[in-house]
Structure 1
Amino acid sequence: MLIAFVFSFGTASIGSWLTDLGPWYFSLKQPSWKPPDAAFGVIWSVIFFLLVFSGSLAWTAAPTRARKRFVLGLFVVNALVNMLWSALYFGLHRPDWAMVEWVALWLSVFSLVWFLWRESRWASILILPYLAWVSAAGVLNWTTIALNGPFA
């Protein structure tokens, strides 16, 4: 559990570091239905806590070293694409590139739900809020592009 916590919140810390809510971000036109900026930190904190429990459950339930490595690989890939999205959107100010990368992010979250089901149904179920949030974030990302693009 401790390793899962360090990994999960290490990923969250890097993602937070890559998220610059500076003048560029505040100059973007946003849809009226966008959650307040303060809600994002709370939502992501809940998601990363759920990832800790999900990862711990899946790792414990995986019966072989190979399956444990597969579980770890799923979480590592997800962490990398999660951080890359933040780097593209906030670091490079390219919501358009982030939207393309969002497909990989969504697929990585869906893969967690799909493949963790075999190891632990609870591990899989705990990922569902993450899938819902990334889906909503994709719609927000798309809307931001429509309201503000093109980006250069």
Structure 2
Amino acid sequence: MFSTPVIAAIAWAVILGGAGGLLTEIGAWYKNLRKPSWQPPDWLFGPAWTIILGLAAWAAVLAWNGTQTQGDRLIVIALYVANFVFHLLWSPLFFKFKRPDWALVEVVFLWSSVFAMCVWLRPYSVLASWLIVPYLVWVSFAAMLNAKIVQLNRPFGRA
């Protein structure tokens, strides 16, 4: 009933969403950070990521179905693997290690991986490329929020 690309795309989204949730501790440290007035409420992040990762999973299936060669399929796999790694790294840097400054450096790699998906999926499916745009917008917003939190709360890493 479900093809391997569909199962892989669903697993990609579920693992990233689940890991992101597990690695995000909204504890006293986070609550005590100074944050900009334009930060969305904490409850919005879960639903936003669910929608964004669902759209990105759909994009993966569309792009995969649009590939013609093994080389094309390897490009799609490489894009999603790179994004998986960079997406997965951000939350522990920010929340577990309590280093928004390190997360700010890492978010550049995450943003670049999402941008690469927008560009490199387009030859396989224009719709897939567009389905990644909300992810790019959200990571762009998250990067600005991360930068503002660093600005308002530095220095980090001191006892």
User: TM-score of the superposition, structure 2-length normalised?
Assistant: 0.93
1:97 aligns with 2:122: no
What one-letter code is carried by the residue in structure 1 that aligns with 2:30?
Y
Q: Distance in 1 between matches of 2:8 and 2:81?
A: 13
What one-letter code is carried by the residue in structure 1 that aligns with 2:97?
L
Equivalent residue for 1:135?
A: 140
CA RMSD of aligned residues (A): 0.8
Q: The residue matched to 1:118 in structure 2 has which SS?
A: coil
Residue of 67, 70, 74 corresponding to 1:69: 74
Q: Deviations over 1:124-147 (max 9, x none)?
A: 000000000000001000000111
1:10 aligns with 2:18: no
Q: Deviations over 1:49-72 (max 9, x none)?
A: 101100000011111111111101
Q: Distance in 2 between matches of 1:80 and 1:30?
A: 27
What one-letter code is carried by the residue in structure 2 that aligns with 1:66?
G
Residue of 37, 54, 62 corresponding to 1:57: 62
Equivalent residue for 1:110?
A: 115
Q: Which of structure 1's runs of 4+ aligned residues deviate more than 3 A?
A: none
What one-letter code is carried by the residue in structure 1 that aligns with 2:26?
L
Q: Deviations over 1:57-105 (max 9, x none)?
A: 0011111111111101101110110110111011100000000111101
- The CA deviation at 1:2 is 2.4
What one-letter code is carried by the residue in structure 1 that aligns with 2:62?
L
Q: Distance in 1 between matches of 2:31 and 2:9?
A: 34
Equivalent residue for 1:29?
A: 34
Q: How many residues are treated as equivalent by the alignment?
A: 152
Structure 2: runs of 5+ lacking an equivalent: 1-5
- Is the contact between residue 18 and residue 83 of structure 1 (CA under 8 Å) also seen in structure 2? no
